[in-house]
Amino acid sequence: MRDNKSDKGVTIKEQILAKVRNATIEKPEALFKDIDLQSETWEPINEEDGNAITFVQKFKDMGGIFVYLETEDELGECIRQLAPQNGWEPLWCTHPNMQELLDKYGVNYKILPQKQEKQKLVAITDCEFLVAQTGSIVLSDGNTLSRKAYTEPEVLLVVARAEQIVGSLKEAFKRLKAEAFPDETSQIVIMTGPTKTYDIEQKGVSNVLGPRQIAVFLIDD
pLDDT in tens, 122-147: 999 999 999 999 999 999 887 777 78
Percent of the chain surpassing pLDDT 70: 81
Q: What is the mean pLDDT of the chain?
A: 83
Mean pLDDT to the nearest integer, 75-97 = 91
Long-range CB contacts (within 8 A, 24+) of 169-173 = 169/131, 169/133, 169/134, 169/136, 170/40, 172/128, 172/129, 172/131, 172/138
The model's pLDDT over 39-85, given as tens digits with 9 standing for 90+, comes to: 777 677 777 788 999 999 999 999 999 999 999 999 999 999 999 99
Which of 129-138, 164-173, 177-186 comes out lowest in average pLDDT?
A: 177-186
Domain boundary assignment for the chain: 43-219
pLDDT tops 90 at residue 201: no
Query: 43-219 domain in CATH 3.40.50.10420?
Result: yes
Angle between helices 96-104 and 72-85 (to 10 degrees): 80
Contact 96, 141 (CB under 8 A): no
Predicted pLDDT of residue 202? 66
Predicted pLDDT of residue 79? 94
Pairing of strands 197-198, 204-205: antiparallel
Residue 68 Cα distances to 15, 109, 140, 171, 221, angstroms: 69, 22, 23, 23, 11
Predicted pLDDT of residue 178? 82
Q: Which residue has the higher pLDDT, 120 or 38?
A: 120
3-class DSSP assignment, residue 166: strand
